[in-house]
A and B are shown apart, each in its own frame.
Chain A
Amino acid sequence: MNAARDLPKVVAGLAIVALALLPTAGLPAFYDSFVYLVFFWVSLSTSWALLSGFAGYFSLGHAAFFGVGMYTTATLTTKAGVPFLLTIPAAAALSALLGVGVGAVVFRLRRLRGELFALLTLAVTFVIGTIILNTPIDGGGGVFMSAVPLPHLMPTPTGTIYILGFAICVLTLVTAWWVAHSRLGMGLFAIHDDEDVAEAKGVPTFRYKLLAFALSAGIAGAVGGIHAMYVGFLTVAGTFELTVPLYVVLMSVLGGSRHWLGPAVGATAITTLLYAFISGGEAMIGRAIVGLILIVAILWLPDGVIPAIQHWAKKRRPQPAKAQAEVVPVVPATVRPIGERHILEVRAVTKRFGGLQALAGVDLDVREGEIFGLVGPNGSGKTTLINVISGHYPLSSGTVAVDGVSIGSLAAHEIARRGVARTYQIPRPFANMSVLDNVALAATFGGPVRAQREIRDEARHWIGFTGLGSKEEALPAELNLHERKFLELARALAAKPKLLLLDEVLSGLNPAEIDNAIRLVRAIRGQGATIVFVEHLMRAVVELSDRIAVLNEGKLFALGAPRDVMRDPRVVSIYLGKAYAA
């Protein structure tokens, strides 16, 4: 059992040692050189995927970071006489710094995602390339590095470059593996699927994106530093061109850019293909054949090689017959009394969108352990209030305190960490994560720090609690609306919230499903959470709530016990029109 599990590690270890010793095997230098180029593309495309594949921030600017690395090494070795090896960390640091600088500005602007991010990184490439071209860093004449001494790490100079390329490649893959299996990676994958939700679930999105950008750019910089020595003569036109970003994208897409090993597979395949047809007579036809192979490959494996293999493996693995987990309803063991302590205090909260006053000074107190209903006509500010409390929108003025601590100025993920969880009216699961991963993410970032094993067990518990036990491995797209709503709840519960904000969990469900959901909400309160819920369905509101608040035109309109409030003629009038009330 153990031996079988360790086999891949042993094989990987042996492969690493064998590859490290390749230059001493006395093979023709070409093989060192060729394999170096494979390492080069593997490192570059993997580093690209750290930000662009994992977090979905599609960059067309990888040439900028790679190029800054190349020119750092070239400048330091030729103009300042710094030993080559020392320049590589410098190249990495400078590129990482550039990445962080760009990121620190760009990531603050929510709009700069998708193609706008691609555009911005492309523009950065053009700008940096032009600056280097027109300043003494290059000046237009190119930088010739033949006089730079190469250390003797291996018997041959090509072997030395090889071993450096190999080292950076291993380092890159280890980094990618580590990221993919860490909190960071989990957070990045969530950012890829839905950044706002990730933030609301407690992922420090800004910091994670910066970190990913720094790693991505830093590795590209180090790779550039080594490659400067390999090429020996640098020109701006040959460095800051579109080939690098284009190829890293293609390689990552071919291999599967969301998997830590995907870009490496794609890079190896494409680099090898490009060398398959180098002879003078067949160069042209060869290029066309490479093109055809790539077309066929991606049509056949549209999500990339690694995801296709994973999919195939998953299909082959017999599904363990799972014992049906706890089924809804789980009746609470004890109904806790509603405390006198205020868990949520909202004071004079306003929220303005341009000229629109969505919240015009709301005051609310929610007691520990109660189910608090929030109702009101469309546009009355209910969902806005949820968004403000959860930190999705910053306050215009006023204060919000949870457990006596003001949270009005905190980022959404920090509010989430203080025990506030929310659901969305239209479920927003992370589309590329399984049900289990969706819930585990919320448990990881919402709750206290604990081991992944523990988190998984907890996640399974909540999946069972919401009746999704048989769907652990399913992707959200395979769920129906009812199940997706319950997944929302499972995610919120996994964060062990003190305060749970539910935004129209019942809308779109059929009567039987609604009964189920109502029982579930009760069960949640039984676990010790305080619940604020926005709902249109009056039956449910009256049945569930301890107290309800009515919002109208951004103001608190009425507050009290459900039946009292619903009988208030003023409340009836805003719902059904004045004539009816009169």
Chain B
Amino acid sequence: MPSATLLGQALISGVLAGGMYGLLALGLSLSWGLLRLVNLSHFALAFLAAYLTYELGTTYHVAPWWSAAMVVPAMFLIGLAQHWLFDRFKVNELASLLITFSFAVILEVAIQLYWTADYRRFETPYSTLSIKAGPFYIPVLELTLCLVAGVLAWGTWQWLRKTYVGKALRASAEDADIAAAYGVDYRKLAYLISGMGAAYAGIAGTFIALIATLAPAQIWTWLGVVFAVVIIGRLGNPLGALAAGMLVGASESIAMAVLSPAWAPVVSFSMLIAILLWDPEWL
């Protein structure tokens, strides 16, 4: 039987790793839930941001937070540009899959052409820093990530809730006429949400640059788990996305601490299936 320290440490590490799933899920959840656009290029945008952070950090020795201050607004603009295309051509949910997939492929090629397919690593002193709390270690970078993700998720949630923007958007995803009744300019809001989604990808990308070693094809490695997280957290619900990310991360991590690690996906996803079958309302 694993010790309490091991279980506690696994839980911490799982929740923190889940923070990354949640952060990546945030932007995806917004555009999918509120605009009915499934943005597969979200991951590619995150990696583009990561590569830019890497480039700024290694070539020009820009500190990551200053990089973020430049990269995140740039991502916001890319989000707007992307949405212009969606808006101009009235792209529906299914077509958005194909377009954003293609967009991701093009970004992947662009990244590979400029930075090559070889690994890129942005070495910083932060990557392995930890705080010691009793018998447990809490990695600083992941903790920061979770705090940032938490603030973003909570802030976005409040904004959607308090200003009725969320309701209006959800209504307009179903029927644009009803949305007009809310007195909301749906089109402007949609641009804002798209920009925000891309900006969140940019923030996730900054952390990816600090935490991971980059390779172009890694764009696709997060797809499955983050998709699952977005849906578990309920489309369009930022707090749900983050909570779902942490839940998946924690359950996988605990499973890895107790069982053979290779069995971990069975545990977390069987649990998910069981919950869905038992009471889908719970989600």
Contacts and interface: CB of A to CB of B under 8 A. Distances in A.
Interface of A: 60, 105-106, 109, 111-112, 115-116, 118-120, 122-124, 126-127, 129-131, 133-134, 140, 242, 246, 249-250, 253-254, 257, 284-285, 287-288, 290-292, 294-295, 298-299, 302-303
Interface stretch (B69-77, B85-93, B146-154, B185-193): B85-93
Interface in B62-109: 85, 89-92, 94-95, 97-99, 101-103, 105-106, 108-109
B258 interface: no
B276 interface: yes
Looking at chain B's contact residues, the main secondary structure is helix
A116 B103 contact: no
A348 to B, nearest CB: 30
A127 B277 CA distance: 15
Given A130-B262, A299-B85, A303-B95, 5 more contacts: A115-B231, A130-B264, A291-B101, A295-B98, A299-B99
Which 6 residue pairs spanning A and B have beta carbons closest together? A291-B102, A111-B280, A291-B105, A119-B231, A288-B109, A123-B269
Contact of B283 (A116, A127, A257, A303): A116
Contacts of B90: 302
Tell me which of B32, B89, B102, B262 has the highest count of chain A C-beta atoms within 10 A of its own C-beta.
B102
Given A250-B101, A254-B98, A302-B92, A116 B280 contact: yes
A14 B260 CA distance: 56
Contacts of A60: 227
Given A123-B269, A246-B101, A287-B109, A302 B283 contact: no
A467 to B, nearest CB: 26
A559 to B, nearest CB: 38
A189 to B, nearest CB: 16
Given A290-B105, A295-B103, A119 B95 contact: no
Given A242-B223, A242-B224, A295 B99 contact: yes
B231 A294 contact: no
A118 B220 CA distance: 18
B273 interface: yes
Contacts of B99: 294-295, 298-299
A198 to B, nearest CB: 20
A243 to B, nearest CB: 8
B113 interface: yes
Interface in B203-256: 220, 223-224, 227-228, 231-232, 235
Contacts of A134: 260, 262-263, 266
A290 B95 CA distance: 16
B86 to A, nearest CB: 10
B110 interface: yes
A302 to B, nearest CB: 5
B281 interface: yes
A119 B276 contact: yes
9 contacts: A109-B280, A123-B228, A126-B224, A127-B266, A250-B101, A253-B97, A291-B103, A299-B89, A302-B90
B228 A109 contact: no
A292 B104 CA distance: 11
Given A126-B269, A242-B224, A298 B98 contact: yes
A335 B92 CA distance: 50
User: Chain A binding site: helix, strand, loop or mixed by DSSP?
Assistant: helix
Given A115-B235, A284-B113, A292 B266 contact: no
Contact of A253 (B95, B109, B262, B265): B95
Contacts of B127: none
Contacts of A126: 224, 265-266, 269
A294 B104 CA distance: 12
B106 A140 contact: no
Contacts of A253: 94-95, 97-98
A120 B273 contact: yes
B101 A123 contact: no
B270 interface: yes
B180 to A, nearest CB: 18
A288 B44 CA distance: 14
B130 interface: no
Contact of A291 (B109, B227, B260, B283): B109
Nearest to A111: B280
Contacts of A246: 101, 223
Contacts of A257: 94
B97 A249 contact: yes
B91 A122 contact: no
Contact of A122 (B101, B108, B228, B262): B228
A306 to B, nearest CB: 14
Interface string B148-167: 00000000000000000000
B109 A123 contact: no
Nearest to A128: B266
Contacts of A109: 277, 280
Contact of A105 (B112, B269, B277): B277
Given A119-B276, A124-B273, A130 B266 contact: yes
B143 interface: no
B224 A298 contact: no
A93 B101 CA distance: 33
B272 interface: yes
Contacts of B269: 123, 126-127, 130
